[in-house]
Structure 1
Amino acid sequence: MSAPDKERRRPLALTMGDAAGIGPELSLQAWKDRFTDRLPAFVLYADIELMRAAARAAGIDDKVIVPVTDISAAADVFRDSLPVLSIPLAEPAKPGSPSVRNGPATISAIRSAVADVAAGHASAVVTNPIAKSVLYGAGFEFPGHTEYLGALAAEFWPGEPSEPVMMLASSKLRVVPLTIHVPLKDVPALLTADKIIKTARIMAASLRRDFGIENPRIAVAGLNPHAGEDGALGSEDAEIIRPAIEALRAEGLDVTGPHAADTMFHDAARKTYDAALAMYHDQGLIPIKTLAFDEGVNATIGLPFVRTSPDHGTAFAIAGKGVASATSLKAALKLAGEMVARRLSAAAS
């Protein structure tokens, strides 16, 4: 087997997320649909008994849950069984009832998955949803997945550029929020031309490398209604956002704006760009969750490794009831596989 073929056979590293959420059952559902949806092979970082219980609850023989220690063997196991790398919980998980005591296992699954990608055993990280409030009680010191992954990248890939940026992607829209989990009242003070320029550069690089778009087009949203309406509705659009766009265009990037956010997400407008840069969380996430609630994927770009995740939360209210949709997780697995393949092809050329 050639080196590129060996690279392509490396499985994805899928983390369990919060053990009391829908991650375990979604992982099992994705494995069940592996052939019909043509999913890449993955190994699940989770508690063995947690997954056996999830299998029984779904009416599946729990013998399909196969513990593995050799990640390289997961691709062979995957055809007939769900390979699980053991991440023991402190106590049995009850669907819908998260436990702070199991928080360290959630964190350990993420760290172990990233470590295996760094070591060359797995090809990319795909994460099931976590509950940040639960992890904070377990000593988690990061605002969320994105920031923790950035810290792990700096640890495992020292010296390599690492500026994690959250992109929400679907077949209908790709969007990056410039500011994420901050109060709306704090957003204007956080906007800088430098931040816009850096983020747009990362977006352009990812669109080329990870999405195969040779000449990416980026549309930048304004902050204020009607993009400030020539200063009548705020000065940030003219004083911060527009100069950043002009600087990016001077670099040769195809960047337009600032656009009025209320008119840049309809069908015709979306055909004019490959990704949108929103100024704050809801400005970007409301459109994509309206257009592609089930199929949206959270992709962390700007990292030295590929990471994707379903674009939804732990859904404790429906955990264990067998009604959660695995569509977004399956889309995340597919996108991770596609991103890895594009990076490998680019490296080989």
Structure 2
Amino acid sequence: MTAALAVSLGDPAGVGPELLAEAWARRGEEGLTPFFAVGGASLLAAAAAQRGIAVPVQRIADPGEATAVFPLALPVLGDLDGPYRPGEPDRDGAMLALASLTEAARLTVAGEASGIVTGPIAKSRLAEVGFVHPGQTEFVAKAAGVAPEDAVMMLAGPSLRTVPLTVHMALADVPKALTVELIQRRCSIVAAALRRDFGLSTPRLALAALNPHAGEDGRFGDEESRIIAPAIAALRAAGIAVTGPHPADAMFAPHARGDYDVALCMYHDQALIPLKALDFDNGVNVTLGLPVIRTSPDHGTAFAIAGQRRANPGATIAALRMAGECAARRAAE
């Protein structure tokens, strides 16, 4: 039997706890595989009550208990806990979020959970309590023994999958960061992950251009001919189905999206804007290239609406479903 998924709380003052409770309440209609929260038993009960949903919470002492408990109550591992104060982030909440994330990652890497789903955090708050990573992607990668540059962020929704080849950096620094080797390495990781975890035997990759009109024969920049095209040639020689560089203003049009399985973009917003425009309430952040499954809802803490019954649970449910599906494919190998 596949182990349950481990879910970290995220910042307890954000929307994470109420959406996790909502996801458990919809577990049957959404077809979710068993999961357990790492800490926050009283906090999750309070978040469910604030949201107006009936969610029994049961503490468990071992991850192995989660599957049996899951049909009857939301399993919560351990004694980590804190008060529920939606919209009021503080240092204690950040410490709880970090402790939950640390333990959830440890359990997943140890094989006691089939994957990790991370709740939304406020990175600035975590930095105040010693979090030194750019984000949870890099944190989980380190826990799994993977170099940060080999942990690739993919955003996935019902309409689109996108990968930013460079992530958290100033736009002015992107051209210097792009290399043939970087594009080759990350495209190879994406292709392998789509085969293994998403069941695509021959994944189709489309690379966006960096410059307007794909550089227009060098008038608007030469990165397309100097960096992107050679990377594409090398990837094709390695047997990977890849096209491009495509002008980014056209490749996300409805008639174009059916030609590829994932769009690989040169910088953060080039990838995230179309994904969020199309699939904001159902977007999932998936980390590719890890020996473990990691997903997260593709939204932040939303402190401004926490505890007001306004937050949409779609992305949390999608992240749990996707993690369960990917874990099942690995278990079937």
Q: CA deviation at 1:71?
A: 1.0
CA contact (8 A) 1:191 1:240 kept: yes
Partner of 2:113: 122
Q: Which residue in the other structure is 2:328 paired with?
A: 341
> Does the CA-based 8 Å contact 1:124-1:307 persist in structure 2?
yes
| Separation (CA, whole Å) in 1 of partners of 2:108 and 2:149 | 15
Amino acid at match of 2:264: L
On the 8 A contact 1:172/1:292 being kept in 2, the answer is: yes
Stretch of structure 1 that moved more, 10-19 or 160-169: 160-169
Residue in structure 2 matched with residue 279 of structure 1 by the alignment? 266
From 120, 137, 157, the counterpart of 2:128: 137
SS in 1 for 2:249: helix
| Cα 1:61/1:229, change in 2 over 3 Å | closer
The alpha-carbon deviation at position 31 of structure 1 amounts to 0.5
Identity percentage of aligned residues: 50
Question: Is 1:77–2:69 an aligned residue pair?
Answer: yes
Runs (4+) off by over 2 Å: 58-62, 86-89
Question: What do residues 64-110 of structure 1 show as CA deviations (whole Å, max 9, x unaligned)?
Answer: 11111121111111111111113524x53411111123222211211
Encode CA deviations 1:272-323: one digit per residue, 9 max, x unaligned. 1111110001101111111111111110010000000111110000001111
Q: 2:289 pairs with 288, 302, 320, which one? A: 302
How many angstroms apart in 2 are the aligned matches of 1:127 and 1:161? 17
Aligned pair partner of 1:152 in 143, 147, 163: 143
Could you tell me how far 1:137 is from its partner in structure 2?
Answer: 0.8
- What's the secondary structure of 1:293's corresponding residue? helix
Could you tell me whether the CA contact under 8 Å between 2:142 and 2:148 is conserved in 1? no
Q: Within the alignment, does 1:11 sit opposite 2:4 as a pair?
A: yes
Query: Hey, what's the Cα distance between the residues in 2 that align with 1:48 and 1:37?
Result: 23
Q: How far is 1:246 from its partner?
A: 0.8
Stretches of structure 2 that go unaligned for 5 or more consecutive residues are: none
Structure 1 residue 56, shift from structure 2 partner: 2.4
Distance in 2 of aligned mates of 1:239 and 1:59? 57
Q: Deviation of residue 162 (structure 1)?
A: 8.4
Residue 48 of structure 1 aligns with which residue?
41
Q: Which residue of 1 is the match for residue 312 of structure 2?
A: 325
The alignment's C-alpha RMSD in Å is: 1.6
Deviates further, 119-128 or 53-62: 53-62
Structure 2 Cα separation of the partners of residues 331 and 189 of structure 1: 35
* Match of residue 103 from structure 1: 94
* In 2, Cα distance between equivalents of 1:100 and 1:240: 44
Aligned to 1:26: 19
Q: Contact 2:13–2:89 at 8 Å: present in 1 too?
A: yes
Q: Is the 8 A contact 1:296 1:328 kept in 2?
A: yes
Q: Distance in 2 between matches of 1:335 and 1:57?
A: 27
Counting matched residue pairs gives 333
TM-score (norm 1): 0.92
Identify if the C-alpha distance between structure 1 residues 331 and 61 changes in structure 2 by more than 3 Å, giving closer, same or farther.
closer
What is the CA–CA distance in structure 2 between the aligned matches of 1:39 and 1:261, rounded to whole Å? Answer: 35
2:159 to 162, 172, 177: 172
Would the aligned equivalents of 2:63 and 2:112 in 1 still touch at CA under 8 Å? yes
Q: What is the CA–CA distance in structure 2 between the aligned matches of 1:132 and 1:61, rounded to whole Å?
A: 31
Equivalent-residue separation in structure 1 for 2:24 and 2:195 (angstroms): 30
Q: Is the 8 A contact 1:170 1:296 kept in 2?
A: yes
Amino acid at match of 1:100: R
> Is the Cα–Cα contact under 8 Å of residues 93 and 99 in structure 1 kept in the other structure?
no
Give the counterpart letter for 1:291 in structure 2.
L
Partner-residue secondary structure (3-state), 1:129: coil
* Conserved 8 A contact 1:209-1:343: yes
Amino acid in structure 1 at the alignment position of 2:57 = I
| Counterpart Cα distance in 2 of 1:264 and 1:172 | 13
Partner of 2:124: helix, strand, or coil?
helix
TM-score by length of 2: 0.96
- Say if 1:196 and 1:241, in contact at 8 Å, map to a contact too: yes
Deviation (angstroms), 1:339: 0.5
Contact 2:213–2:247 (CA under 8 A) maintained in structure 1:
yes
Contact map agreement 1:153 1:162 (CA 8 A) in 2 = no
